[in-house]
Chain A
Amino acid sequence: DAGITQSPRYKITETGRQVTLMCHQTWSHSYMFWYRQDLGHGLRLIYYSAAADITDKGEVPDGYVVSRSKTENFPLTLESATRSQTSVYFCASSRGRAEQETQYFGPGTRLLVL
């Protein structure tokens, strides 16, 4: 049971380039989330998705694009990377949006934008 995986685990890119971070889950969870983790800020929600073809903005969506054509995949694209997007990105999933639902996290992608 693979659970939730992210790829790549590490990425170095240059300012202005497009980057796509992949997230895949094997539980058929309805909800999927993208967070970024930065020192002093904890985790901040970028986007989330309630189901295939349904996405919504989180706290810090600017500069990011998501899609969800299949339930198990939730890619995050930085259309034109900036240095401020250097961060650790976590994907998560949960069975539903109910307030007591546990979110399950992937191992993260460390992104460095030069």
Chain B
Amino acid sequence: AQSVTQLGSHVSVSEGALVLLRCNYSSSVPPYLFWYVQYPNQGLQLLLKYTSAATLVKGINGFEAEFKKSETSFHLTKPSAHMRDAAEYFCAVSGTGNTPLVFGKGTRLSVIA
């Protein structure tokens, strides 16, 4: 069965510092992988997704993620954090059966001025 592990429920970075949010997945089939962002009191919106075209995926707001099959990872990065990046981030993997998309538990990103 597919599963996602997000390392760290809370990450705190200084404004201008590198953002690294970790995601490892388990999948019995070639996966499709997603990062979603949730701003306070809002629904989730897609940041980026990996659909087997290119291993380095660029998303909105300067975020990118690299698919590494050997490490079963899909970590999210941004070179320089902004205050507006403070949000909850969810990694997700395409599912099978009655779960089309399997979400991780989320990582809350705080940005310190």
Contacts and interface: CB of A to CB of B under 8 A. Distances in A.
Contact of B106 (A42, A48, A59, A99): A42
Interface in A53-105: 56-59, 90, 92, 94, 97, 99-100, 102-105
Range for the number of chain B residues in contact with chain A: 20 to 34
Contact of A57 (B94, B98, B105, B106): B98
Contacts of A45: 98-101
Nearest to B45: A105
Given A43-B103, A56-B98, A100 B43 contact: no
Main secondary structure of the interface of A (DSSP, over half): strand
B100 A97 contact: yes
Interface of A: 4, 31, 33, 40-45, 48, 56-59, 90, 92, 94, 97, 99-100, 102-108
Interface of B: 32, 34, 36, 41-46, 49, 51, 90, 94, 98-101, 103-106
Given A45-B98, A103-B44, A107-B42, 6 more contacts: A41-B105, A43-B103, A45-B100, A56-B98, A58-B98, A94-B100
